[in-house]
Structure 1
Amino acid sequence: MNDPATSNDRPATDAITGKPMPKPIPASTLVIFRDQPGQNAPDLLMVERSAKMVFAAGAAVFPGGRIDDADFEFARKLGHDDVDEYGARIAAIRETIEETGIAVAVEGDLDARRILDARAALHEGTVLADICNQFDWQLELEKLIPFTRWCPPFAEKRVFDTRFYMISHDDHGALATVDETENYNLFWGNAQSVLDRAEAGEVKIIFPTKRNLERLAQFGSFDEAVAHVKDHPSVMVSPNIEKRGEEVHLCIPEGIGYPITSEPMDAVQRGFKK
């Protein structure tokens, strides 16, 4: 098993202070596409986090969260050798059910009442493996397409090693509803519209979300996004600090699919309060 906490791709010290980096928390996020007939870009599902949250308070993000031990154990029970990868996929599905009430990459009876029951059970602490067994659900983990992976270079109290996945979900009748615990609102919107709302001050987006939305704004459909990631496979992204003239910039590597790779530090929205 590849331990994300010991990956050679993650930073060893804080990019600013030089302090040793804490062990990162494995996390998983799902970018849900809904192609819109007659429109030039697909909608994406975003959730707005509660202002009381420690990380990304008040920010619009993609559904997701930390990977639990039960997710890794479920991956083992399903016979996957790479439990880090498939535990992350399981967590992305679980967190999406918890946060939005939508079940993606699930085969079986997906009656709206059943999904609500599954969501309530997850909030009460029932593990997804038991829910799948009870409802005779099978997870279609191969439907999740690896998009990117981020681990920041700052020694915050919590550092997340987050895997991002993409999936298409064109069931326009599926009703997404906010969980009213970690999140207070959710909405569908194409990537550029979310960027425009952030520019207008209507929503808050942190640095990784902004860079990923800029990348996603290049695509007119889910199929275009899939073709893109075949040319630019998922890699670990760990931003670095660069002095450019009189400004200090937060930067990511060139050549990995991102159209914009830097932003002045004084404009950067970070996940934790400064």
Structure 2
Amino acid sequence: MTSKDSVPVRQAATVLLVRDDPFQVLMVERHAKAFHGSAMVFPGGVVEKADWAEDWLPYLQGGEGLDAAERAARVAACREMFEEAAVLLATVSAQDVNPALGFFEMISVSGGKLRLDALTPFAHWITPIGVPKRFDTRFYVCHAPEGHDAVCDGVETVSLEWLTPAAAVELPLSGPRMIAFPTKLNLQRLAESANAQAAIDAARMRPAYVTQPVMLQTERGPRVRIPAEAGYAVTEGLPIGH
């Protein structure tokens, strides 16, 4: 039998894609049978083996100086954003690439580069011990590229919408269209800014911190708790499914 604390931690990346007039963030709804099924999340997913490949190096803008893990996470963030929402963060337009190709081949034959320098680290969370699937997730914030209409893929994501951070924070923590505790806290952090550029500037100034919640049994039932040093306004919340 596998101990809960030996569940492997998978690398993941997700993107807070933001735009102005009004200030909004893109949220996508996972399909019902997915992990966190029917949850409203930021586009993102697991870092795949191909995201680590050094073959990417000639096709990256802003990859210089990044370590391998950071580079792979940013490639994954770009790939997942394209796969889930049809938004391409590259020096070529989404209309000028062939989505029938694999992601690397699509970029490499396009004459363009992935814009890793457009991604600003926003947060970094590790799933607590005691849950069946664990992720080491890097959150990025990014301006929505001009002229790119977000479209859900209908497979991993079944709907999407642009929401003001204040409205997104009000989504429930359980039931249909739920948001998880980390999503809620990062939406609250986003809502502290007045516009997209202010959110990106704030993220650039924020000290790097890896937030790892712990699961607790309290008099009020199960809770997750994070250290105050993580810099969020809230330090305790409901775990997923409660």
TM-score bracket relative to the smaller structure? 0.7 to 0.9
Shift of 1:174: 2.2
Matched, 1:163 2:138: yes
**Aligned position for 2:61:** none
Percent identical pairs in the alignment equals: 30
Matches of 1:74 and 1:33 in 2, distance apart?
29
Q: Post-superposition shift, 1:23? A: 2.0
Select which of 25, 30, 39 maps to 1:49.
Answer: 30
Stretch deviating more after TM superposition (251-260 or 137-146) = 251-260
Instruction: Give the secondary structure class of the aligned counterpart of 2:232.
Output: coil
Are 1:196 and 2:176 matched, yes or no? no
Q: Residues 182-193 of structure 1 correspond to what in structure 2 (within 5 A)?
A: 182-193=156-167
Is the partner of 2:11 in helix, strand or coil?
strand
CA separation of 1:52/1:168 partners in 2, compared to 1, >3 Å: closer, same or farther?
Answer: same
DSSP-derived class of the 2:109 partner: helix
- 1:131-210 matches, within 5 Å, as 131-169=106-144, 171=146, 173-198=147-172, 203-210=177-184
**Residue segments in structure 1 that go unaligned for 5+ positions in a row:** 1-17
Distance in 2 (CA, whole Å) between partners of 1:27 and 1:226 is: 20
Residues 116-148 of structure 1 deviation map (CA, whole Å, 9 limit, x = unaligned):
x32x43xxxx2x332111111112211110111
Task: Return 77-86 or 42-51, whichever deviates more.
Answer: 77-86
Unmatched 5+ stretches in structure 2: 59-63
Counterpart residue type for residue 212 of structure 1: N
Residue type of the alignment partner of 2:198: E
Whether contact under 8 Å (1:148, 1:233) holds in the other structure is no
Tell me the residue number matched to 1:12. Answer: none
Aligned partner letter, 1:155: G
1:66 corresponds to: 46
Q: 1 CA distance for matches of 2:204 and 2:65?
A: 23
Q: Any idea what SS the aligned residue of 2:140 has?
A: strand
User: 1:77: Cα distance to partner?
Assistant: 3.5
- CA distance, structure 2, for counterparts of residue 199 and residue 91 of structure 1: 27
| Aligned length, in residue pairs | 236
Do the aligned partners of 2:4 and 2:131 also contact (CA within 8 Å) in 1?
no
Return the alpha-carbon distance in structure 2 between the equivalents of residues 162 and 200 of structure 1: 21
> Are the equivalent residues in 1 in contact too, given 2:12–2:73 (CA < 8 A)?
yes
C-alpha contact 1:215 1:257 (8 A) present in aligned 2: no
Report the TM-score, using the length of structure 1 for normalisation. Answer: 0.77
Q: CA deviation at 1:199?
A: 7.4
Q: How far did residue 232 of structure 1 move?
A: 2.1
Q: Secondary structure at the match of 2:148?
A: coil
Corresponding letter in the other structure for 2:30: R
C-alpha RMSD over aligned residues: 2.6
Task: Report the CA distance shift for 1:44/1:250 in structure 2 as closer, same or farther (over 3 A).
Answer: same
CA distance in structure 1 between the aligned counterparts of 2:4 and 2:175, rounded to whole angstroms: 34
Do the aligned partners of residues 247 and 70 (structure 1) sit closer, same or farther apart at CA in structure 2, a change above 3 Å counting? closer
